C-alpha cells in the first residue's frame, strides 16, 4: 500500500506576469477582487519581484517572470502568459456580486471573454481575461430564499 502524504499547509498558486508588471498586477487584484498583500514583498536590489496576496481563503503569489526565460523558451519555464501567448489554466473566484465585479474589472483594464450568464443551478458566472493574460471564472452563488 502506498502512503498518501498529509497536506500540512495551504496550497499557494503562483501567477507569473511580465517582468515589471508585478505592481500593476497587485493593484489590479486588490482593486478588483479585494486581495490583500500578506507577509513581506520579495525584493531584489530594491525592486519588487514577487508578493503574496490573500484572496478569500487562498494565497496567490504574483511573480515577475524572468526576462531571459520569457525571451528564450529553451531555458524552460516558468514564463509569463504574454511570452507563451495563451494560458492553459482557468482560475475560479467566488464573489458576492459577479455583475459588479466584472464591470469593475473591465473598467480597470480586464476584458470579457464570456458575458455573465445565469447557469442552470441559478448561480451567475462570467469569464474575465485580466490585463496580464490570466483567465478568471467569476461566479456568484444564487441567493437562497427562506422557505
Cell numbers 462570467 correspond to what residue?
126
Domain 12-140 has what CATH class?
A: alpha beta
**C-beta separation of 64 from 43 below 8 A:** no
pLDDT digits (tens, 9 = 90+) for 28-60: 999 999 999 998 888 888 888 999 999 988 899
**C-beta separation of 28 from 130 below 8 A:** yes
**C-beta separation of 135 from 15 below 8 A:** no
The pTM for the full model equals 0.87
| 3-class secondary-structure state, position 23 | helix
List residues bridging with 93 in a β-sheet: 138
pLDDT digits (tens, 9 = 90+) for 117-145: 999 989 999 999 999 999 999 999 876 43
The DSSP secondary structure of 50-88, one letter per residue, reads: EEEEEETTEEEEEEEPPHHHHH-GGG-----HHHHSS-S
List residues bridging with 6 in a β-sheet: none
Amino acid at each position: 500500500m502506498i502512503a498518501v502524504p498529509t497536506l500540512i499547509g495551504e496550497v499557494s498558486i503562483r501567477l507569473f506576469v511580465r517582468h515589471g508588471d508585478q505592481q500593476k498586477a497587485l493593484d489590479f487584484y486588490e482593486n478588483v477582487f479585494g486581495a490583500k498583500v500578506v507577509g513581506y514583498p520579495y525584493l531584489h536590489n530594491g525592486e519588487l519581484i514577487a508578493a503574496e496576496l490573500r484572496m478569500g481563503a487562498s494565497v496567490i503569489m504574483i511573480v515577475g517572470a524572468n526576462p531571459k526565460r520569457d525571451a528564450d523558451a529553451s531555458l524552460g519555464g516558468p514564463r509569463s502568459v504574454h511570452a507563451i501567448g495563451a494560458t492553459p489554466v482557468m482560475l475560479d473566484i467566488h464573489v458576492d456580486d459577479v455583475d459588479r465585479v466584472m464591470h469593475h474589472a473591465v473598467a480597470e483594464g480586464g476584458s470579457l471573454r464570456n458575458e455573465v450568464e445565469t447557469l442552470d443551478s441559478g448561480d451567475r458566472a462570467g469569464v474575465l481575461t485580466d490585463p496580464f493574460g490570466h483567465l478568471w471564472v467569476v461566479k456568484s452563488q444564487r441567493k437562497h430564499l427562506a422557505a
